[in-house]
Amino acid sequence: MGDEAFTTRVARNARFANLSAGYLFPEVARRRRAFQEANPGARVISLGVGNTTEPLSRRIAEGLRRGAERLGTLQGYSGYGDEQGLGELRAAIAKRLYRCRIEPSEVFVSDGAKCDIGRLQAMFGPGVRIAVQDPAYPVYVDGSVIAGAAGAAKSGSGAGGYAGIAYLPCSPSNGFFPDLSAVPEADLIYFCSPNNPTGACATRRQLEELVAFARGRGAIVIYDAAYAEYISDPALPKSIFEIEGAREVALEVNSFSKPIGFTGVRLGWTVVPAELRFSDGTPVSKDWNRVMTTLFNGASNIAQAGGLAALEDEGLAELRASVAYYMGNAAVIKGGLDRLGVESYGGTNAPYIWAKFPGRSSWEAFEEILTACAVVTTPGSGFGPAGESFLRFSAFGHREDVEEAVRRLESSLV
């Protein structure tokens, strides 16, 4: 063997070269490790990636345990299940989380919202025109690039956005709701509420506007409701299907990750209404069912047992307690930023606080806080061009760590 690395004859999928940088969160983790190596004594606190930290609650953990124990018995063992999920769980999701607004047959259980977004992108293919809120959860854009529905990064750095994607700026000046009249031709509109990263939660009137817009254009809304359970204001819709007319123009991805700490267990679902159709009349659910049966083999039966426990009365009470704990953290972070005079948004119906650091790039502000406070945040520019000069603070953490992080911010950032 010579010095040259052996190469196969297989050409790289050119779409990967279109991606301007690695995925956002591993880059944040890399910078954290570099800081830790340079400062071995520092106790770094992460308010970066939105990852749950508290142990599973009693009833839900018991559901998982029972699910695992059943597999060890002759009567209880099960192998592959229905690719769409356990009938009982689909029914419980429709009844308890959607109050029967949707049918159990419209619920497709999965291993999480991120995985479903990727499979949706494979289903819609490379030919669709994409519009996203700016800033947005990076999977909508990066996944579209991998699926071929978007081109190369315009500036080479990704901060200027990708070719072929319509960015819909969401900023304090428009109440974080995009000017829909300015949207160019678009087939798919990604919309996330409560929003990651801005923490904004769309009102009923705004969602009515979104649905009317999609109907007018004949477009499909991919509605990401992963943080729906963090809504405390009863006037705010938790699902796009609370809006009249949404069933013909929207599908909804959702997850057990954030409400019950299943980020590692992996359980989510997508709702595809029977009335949602492609231009040739084919129901979208037909192709989605084809994707799920062909490329997915059903969510873990143990995870589904945990999900079922979470949707019983006691489990739902535990879900609410878990959400309340992290929202308590959000109030601590927001309080600290307010005392520092930092302009911030979100944190009341969402577990994220979106804070403005004028005169600096997001990565500069990120490094400043990491260096001065040993606190990890997420740079706003990683979520899209309109995120520049913002940082996202995640409310997922142990309370004492969040309090300590805020104390450090208050003593260093004066």
Interface ranges with ligand PGU (CB under 6 A): 25, 49-50, 112-115, 137, 192, 196, 224, 226, 255, 257, 263, 268
Beta-carbon neighbour count of residue 149 at 10 Å?
23
Q: Compare residues 21 and 49 and give the one whose CB is closer to ligand PGU.
A: 49
Q: Compare residues 114 and 238 and give the one whose CB is closer to ligand PGU.
A: 114
> Which secondary structure element, helix H or strand E, spans residue 345, and what is its range?
strand 344-346
Asked if 202 contacts 193 with a C-beta cutoff of 8 angstroms, the reply is: yes
Q: Compare residues 223 and 241 and give the one whose CB is closer to ligand PGU.
A: 223
CA nearest to 333, candidates 411, 414, 258, 399: 399
Kindly give, in sequence order, each residue whose CB lies less than 8 Å from that of residue 65, ignoring residues fewer than 6 positions away.
none
Q: Compare residues 268 and 347 and give the one whose CB is closer to ligand PGU.
A: 268
Asked if 240 contacts 250 with a C-beta cutoff of 8 angstroms, the reply is: yes
CA nearest to 149, candidates 181, 180, 187, 176: 187
Q: Compare residues 197 and 336 and give the one whose CB is closer to ligand PGU.
A: 197
Q: How many residues belong to the chain? A: 414
Instruction: Kindly give the pairing relationship between strand 250-255 and strand 220-224.
Output: parallel
Tokens of residue 115, six digits: 């995985």
Q: Compare residues 28 and 409 and give the one whose CB is closer to ligand PGU.
A: 28
Please, what is the minimum distance in Å from the beta carbon of residue 368 to ligand PGU? 21
Please, what is the minimum distance in Å from the beta carbon of residue 216 to ligand PGU? 26
Q: Compare residues 51 and 361 and give the one whose CB is closer to ligand PGU.
A: 51
Euclidean distance between CA atoms 106 and 94, whole angstroms: 9
Q: Compare residues 112 and 397 and give the one whose CB is closer to ligand PGU.
A: 112
Q: Compare residues 115 and 260 and give the one whose CB is closer to ligand PGU.
A: 115
Please, what is the minimum distance in Å from the beta carbon of residue 9 to ligand PGU? 33
Residue 182 DSSP label: G
3-state helix, strand, coil in the chain (%, to 5): 45, 15, 40
Sign (positive or negative) of CA dihedral 37, 43, 48, 53: positive
∠391-393-397 over CA atoms, to 5°?
155
Q: Compare residues 25 and 35 and give the one whose CB is closer to ligand PGU.
A: 25
Please, what is the minimum distance in Å from the beta carbon of residue 239 to ligand PGU? 14
DSSP string, 303-346: HHHHHHHHTSHHHHHHHHHHHHHHHHHHHHHHHHHHHHT--EEE
Please, what is the minimum distance in Å from the beta carbon of residue 413 to ligand PGU? 22
Euclidean distance between CA atoms 22 and 7, whole angstroms: 22
Whether cis (ω within 30° of 0) applies to the bond prior to 135 is yes
Tell me the chain's radius of gyration from C-alpha atoms: 22
The helix/strand/coil state of 375 is: strand
Please, what is the minimum distance in Å from the beta carbon of residue 295 to ligand PGU? 16
CA nearest to 89, candidates 112, 107, 71, 77: 107
Beta-carbon neighbour count of residue 133 at 10 Å?
28
Please, what is the minimum distance in Å from the beta carbon of residue 49 to ligand PGU? 4
Please, what is the minimum distance in Å from the beta carbon of residue 57 to ligand PGU? 18
Q: Compare residues 336 and 351 and give the one whose CB is closer to ligand PGU.
A: 351
